[in-house]
Chain A
C-alpha cells in the first residue's frame, strides 16, 4: 500500500502516531542500526558488571573502551561499503 493511500485511510491519531514512530526510528536508528544495538549491548554489559559492587569502577573504565569498539566497528562497516 502506498503512503498516499495509507494517509487517506488512517485516522488522524493513527497518522500522528505513525509519524511520531517514524521520527524516533529515523532519529535513533536510521541507517546505523549497529550503533543502537551496540549501545544497548554496552549498557547491558555495564549493568551486569555493576551487580557486583567490587566491579563498579572497572565497569566505568571499561565503558569508553566498549563504546570506542562500537564506533570503530560502525566506521569500518561504512568504509567497507564505500570502498569494497
Chain B
C-alpha cells in the first residue's frame, strides 16, 4: 500500500508537520496579541477549548471514514480534495515568490489585532469573553485546515495516528519557538513552508486520485517523491517566468495582493 512504506511515511509526516506549523504560526500571532492586550487566562482557555474541539473532529471523523467508506472511493475523494487544496496553497506561494502577491506579514497582523483588542471594552469579571472568543476562533479556524489535512492524508494512508502525532509535534514546536522569540514571528520563512506543503499536498492528491480511478503508478509509492520533484520544477519554472515577465515594471509597481490574512 502506498504511503505505508518509509518513503511515503516521511513525505506524509513532513507534509502534515509543515502544514500544521504554518497554520499554528498564524494562530499564535492572534493568541499572543490576545494574551498581551487582554490577559493570558482567557486566551489560554480559548486555545485549550479550540484544540479540544479540533482533536474531537479528528477522533470522530478519522476512524469513521476508514471504517465506513470504501478505500477506492476514499482515495478518489481525498485525492481530489488534496489536489484542490494543495493547488490553492501552491498557486498562492508561487504568486508571492514572484512578487505578484503581498507576503503574509505577521507583524502587521499582530499590530492590527492589538489595536482591535485594545479598543474593545474590558471585562468586569475575571473571565474575558472577548479574549476567549478571539483566541478560540483564531486557533480553531487556522486548525481546521490542519484537521482536514490530517484526516485526509492519515485515513487514506492508514496512518492517522502518525499524521496526528506530526501535527501535534508541530503545535508543540511552534508554541515553544513562539514563547522564545515572542513577537518575532515575521522571521518564520512562511512562504517557503507553504510552497513545500503545497508541493506535497498536490503530489499526494495526484497519487491518490489516480489510484482512486485505478491508474497504475510505475514504482508504486516511489512515485510520490518523484511527483514532489516534478511539481517543484514546475513551480520554480513558473516563479522564474513570472519574475522575468514582470521585471521591467518591478521598480515602479509594488507587490500587491489580497488580505494579509490569507
Q: Say yes or no: is A11 at the interface (Cβ < 8 Å to chain B).
A: no
Say yes or no for A18: interface residue by CB 8 A criterion: no
Q: Which residues of A contact B101 (CB under 8 A)?
A: 78, 82
Q: Would B87 and A70 count as touching, CB distance under 8 A? A: yes
Chain B interface size range: 35 or more
Indicate whether A17 reaches chain B with its CB closer than 8 angstroms. no
In the complex, how many angstroms separate the beta carbon of A34 from the nearest chain B beta carbon? 10
Contacts of B79 in A (CB 8 A): 43
Interface of B is mostly: helix
CB of A70 to closest CB in B, whole Å = 7
What residues of chain A lie closer than 8 Å to B205, measured between beta carbons? 39, 67
Given known contacts A32-B88, A74-B87, A83-B245, is B216 in contact with A56 (CB within 8 Å)? yes
Closest to B100 in A: A82
Classify chain A's interface size: 20 to 34
Chain A: interface secondary structure? Answer: helix
Which of B19-27, B62-70, B108-116, B226-234 is found at the contact surface with chain A? B226-234
Question: In the bound complex, how far is the Cα of B205 from the Cα of A4, in angstroms?
Answer: 38
A47 touches B213 (CB 8 A): yes
Q: What are 29 pairs between A and B in contact, CB < 8 Å?
A: A27-B85, A27-B148, A28-B85, A30-B88, A32-B91, A35-B88, A35-B91, A38-B87, A39-B84, A39-B87, A43-B83, A43-B209, A43-B212, A50-B213, A50-B215, A56-B216, A57-B215, A59-B213, A60-B210, A60-B216, A60-B218, A60-B223, A63-B210, A64-B227, A67-B205, A71-B87, A74-B91, A79-B246, A83-B249
B-side interface residues toward A, CB under 8 Å?
76, 79-81, 83-85, 87-88, 90-91, 94-95, 98, 100-101, 148, 202, 205-206, 209-210, 212-218, 223, 227, 230-231, 234, 238, 242, 245-246, 249, 256, 258
